[in-house]
Structure 1
Amino acid sequence: MIRADGLSKRFGPVQAVADVTFTASAGCVTGLVGPNGAGKSTTLRMLLGLVEPDGGTATFGGTRYRELASPGSTVGAVLDIAGAHPAATARGQLTTVAALGGHRRERVEHVIDTVELRSYADRRVKGFSTGMRQRLALATALLGDPDVLVLDEPSNGLDPAGIVWLRTFIREYAASGRTVLVSSHVLTDLEHSVDDIVLIDRGRTTWTGSLRDLTAHGTTLEQAFLALTTKELTA
């Protein structure tokens, strides 16, 4: 289980996150939703120990990320797609990361097949499209065979077939008893792939619950999102 409890973070005069609290359970895909600038990316970075919160806690199974015995084998994360050296091949990049993380060498070939990157495995990253870079980033996150996946805008750059593939992949990953937390502004993607929703607006958690509860009255996720954010803005 991922748990965020009262997370807050200020950057100078900007209160990026004021009070974010939620849980993401094993066996479920949880969607992190909010307008641009709502604090989603900062929240994910606090979860992963990349940004130190001013207040609150973020844990995986009760343990902070920096205190995990084997973080790469517990949590796989995709926060951006710019990590690979442009002169490296996909296989070379994955082999290097596997060695640095202490992951088994055979995981490299496994994740190449998992993200359907076999045809491009020996091409240099500088020639990759955005969608191919996205697949490489996901392959890198999977090297440690983690119990938790944290994904920030994972469908960026994917073509329609790639988006359908990604939806199926994260559903199956969660169905195996693992935890998936996905942040995305493409609400139609989330509507077809998530079990639970966490809505963040102006740095605060404004709604948490199941997608079924949120859309119980025949509304789409987009309609419910607009209704909730409008209510917050006019309150």
Structure 2
Amino acid sequence: MSAAIEVRGLSKRFGAVVALEDVALRVEFGRVVGFLGPNGAGKSTLMRALLGLVRPDNGAAHIAGLPYAHLTAPAKRVGAVLDIASAHPRMTARAHLRTYAALGGMARSRVDTVLSLVEAQSYADRRIGTFSTGMRQRLALATAMLGDPDILVLDEPSNGLDPSGIAWLRTFLHSFADAGGAVLLSSHVLHEIEHTIDDVILIDHGRTVWTGPLEQLVTKDAPLEEAFLRLTQKGPLS
């Protein structure tokens, strides 16, 4: 069986700036994987390359064994949250989801299903322009789940969530992985993500510097933030 996500030898340059250099990583089904690194380390570039939004100079990025562009029904294979600002502020959450469902050839009934999944029913008919950041995060996740994918790629999914929302997200992601799904997520809040992830992929200056199970990286007396500082020789993420 193919890995959920596999990246081999990925390199990308923007002019004189090296964003990624020979990056390799692997995400297995049934795991929640934290994708960590300092600001500017290359996390967003890699996520965009994985989803076909950036063309790498070298290497390969595969989802379930195929490049994103070769997936026959990409929304039904992978759900992504990269930008929570893309929803039109004058639309309601329900109308936004119905539009995306129609564009993706998904059943309209999925709209109510995903609203329930992210517990957004109470504001489904409000205009998105009135939403808090946490509400927008839930709507973005609902949009990613429309195709009932088995792989999620999430950039800072806990941003704007209150403590109860963070606890809810942690339970949601664990349940998703326990059902056989795979999650690749980035975060700058290390003390939160440490309680969410199974594995860690750490990059710095566009290169992979550590990958493996969380328990091999941290101990009771040396939490994730200390390991991050040791491996990157940087200040805390911000």
Band of TM-score, shorter chain: over 0.9
1:187 corresponding residue in structure 2: 190
Aligned-pair distance for 1:103? 0.7
2:111 aligns to what SS in structure 1?
helix
Say whether 1:106 aligns with 2:128: no
Aligned to 1:21: 24
What is aligned with 1:115? 118
Q: CA deviation at 1:55?
A: 0.7
Aligned pairs (5 A) from 1:156-167: 156-167=159-170
Secondary structure at the aligned position of 2:208 is classed as strand
> 1:91 aligns to what?
94
1:30 aligns with 2:33: yes
Among 125, 137, 141, the alignment partner of 1:134 is: 137
Structure 2 spans left out of the alignment, 5+ residues: none
- Aligned pair partner of 1:214 in 217, 220, 225: 217
CA contact (8 A) 1:16 1:38 kept: yes
- Give yes or no for contact 1:167–1:189 (8 Å, CA) kept in 2: no
Q: Quick one: distance in 1 between partners of 2:190 and 2:52?
A: 27
Q: Does 1:55 align with 2:58?
A: yes
> Secondary structure of 1:173's match?
helix
Distance 2:176 2:131 in 1: 25
Shift of 1:171: 0.8
Cα distance in 2 between the residues matched to 1:147 and 1:217: 32
* CA distance in structure 2 between the partners assigned to 1:134 and 1:216 by the alignment: 31
Paired positions, count: 231
- Describe the superposition over 1:84-103 as per-residue Cα deviations: whole angstroms up to 9, x where unpaired: 11110000000000000011
State the Cα RMSD in Å: 1.0
The runs of at least 4 aligned residues of structure 1 exceeding 6 Å deviation read: none
Report the Cα offset of residue 218 of structure 1.
3.5
Amino acid of the residue matched to residue 65 of structure 1? Y
Q: 1:5/1:222 Cα in 2 relative to 1: closer, same or farther (>3 Å)? A: same
Q: How far apart in 1 are the matches of 2:130 and 2:36?
A: 32
TM (normalized to structure 2)? 0.95
CA distance in 2, matches of 1:166, 1:138: 10
- Measure the CA separation in 1 of the matches of 2:137 and 2:25: 27
Structure richer in helix, relative to its length: 1
Q: In structure 1, what is the Cα distance between the partners aligned to 2:219 and 2:137? A: 33
CA positional deviation for 1:217: 6.9
